[in-house]
Amino acid sequence: MFRRIVLLLFLASQLSAETIRLYSFNIQIFGVSKMAKPEAAHILADIVSRADVTAIQEVRSASIAPVLEFMDLLPPQYAYVLGPREGRSGSKEQYWVIYDTTKLRLLAEATWADPEDLFERNPLGVYFQTRDSFDFILIDNHIQPSAAAREIAALPEVVRYFQELWGEKDVVLAGDFNADGVYYDETLLAAAFPEHEYHSIITNDYDTTVALSDNTYDRIIITASAGEDYAGACGVIRFDELYDFTELTINPRQVSDHYPVWAEFFTGADTD
């Protein structure tokens, strides 16, 4: 009898291997002029509505109007966290995390205070709980290309800060790391995120740029504790192939110069 119950429980757990899909997307200078291109706005909205949570970089708008307009294009269950306007110069950017409220509950949000002023744009931490056991911290970041080595080296400190702040080990670092090309020697990434502490999901062989050049600027890196939660599926969304641009008046570069990167996580495998 007991054995049969255990077997049934085991089968049930296998059947309900529910996952959430996380995207990271640099949507390149998001603001009034992007929203003034309805085709670009609708493609962006369609992409974001395929994800359960999307870490967005490069909101550049003095007004919140384009953000609100964009949210109106999404199904009603989507909500968002918008970080403060970040940047040392007059050019400010905001991090923007959009999530499906039927899949994720927002537990907390905070911006890294950056006491030594290491970052051009202080990373945003968002703490989520799925409907099942998986709870995790998503850190959205947009690394300054000209300071990529210094800022990337400081990310583990940001990870530890949020882990201690919320008492949560599982961290998903997502964003435009500018971790390739002329900005950064991508072979250094393994030293910045040592294998016993981190797992690199989007590895050096992915091309995350719409341009013909092959660069892995966009990354998803998780802490070792989230290895049990990672469902093993990841990739790049080739939206230039997903949508038929010959039918449109815009080209893929007017949507963004970056492809979204994605990863799937089990909602019910978490033990910490």
Dihedrals phi, psi of 251, to nearest 5 degrees: -110, 165
The single residue among 143, 180, 193, 202 that binds Ca ion, judged by CB under 5 A, is: 180
Interacting residues of 126 by C-beta distance below 8 A, sequence separation 6+: 81, 97, 106, 108, 109, 137, 138, 139, 140
Q: CA–CA separation, 259 vs 235, rounded Å?
A: 10
**Binding status of residue 207 toward Ca ion by CB under 5 A:** yes
Q: Closest separation between CB of residue 10 and Ca ion, Å?
A: 20
Task: Check if the beta carbon of residue 218 is closer than 8 Å to that of residue 261.
Answer: yes
Stretch binding Ca ion (CB under 5 A), from 21-29, 55-63, 105-113, 220-228: 220-228
List the structure tokens of 50: 């395929």
Q: Closest separation between CB of residue 135 and Ca ion, Å?
A: 4
List the structure tokens of 223: 């802490």
List the structure tokens of 143: 């690394």
Q: Which residue's CB is nearer to Ca ion, number 85 or number 169?
A: 169
What residue is closest to Ca ion based on CB?
216
Q: Which residue's CB is nearer to Ca ion, number 49 or number 133?
A: 133
- Binding residues with Ca ion: total (CB under 5 A): 11
Q: Which residue's CB is nearer to Ca ion, number 75 or number 227?
A: 227
Site for Ca ion in 44-103 (CB under 5 A): none
Q: CA–CA separation, 160 vs 157, rounded Å?
A: 5
Stretch binding Ca ion (CB under 5 A), from 12-20, 88-96, 113-121, 128-136: 128-136
Give CB contacts under 8 A, 24+ apart, made by 76-83.
77/101, 77/102, 78/48, 78/49, 79/106, 81/106, 81/109, 81/124, 81/126, 83/111, 83/124, 83/140
The single residue among 209, 223, 256, 267 that binds Ca ion, judged by CB under 5 A, is: 209
**Binding status of residue 272 toward Ca ion by CB under 5 A:** yes
Interacting residues of 147 by C-beta distance below 8 A, sequence separation 6+: 120
**Binding status of residue 28 toward Ca ion by CB under 5 A:** no
Stretch binding Ca ion (CB under 5 A), from 25-33, 75-83, 132-140, 151-159: 132-140
Stretch binding Ca ion (CB under 5 A), from 15-23, 78-86, 109-117, 196-204: 196-204
Stretch binding Ca ion (CB under 5 A), from 56-64, 67-75, 92-100, 215-223: 215-223
Coil, helix or strand at residue 129:
strand
Would you tell me which residues interact with Ca ion (CB under 5 A)?
135, 170, 180, 204, 207, 209, 216, 225, 229, 270, 272
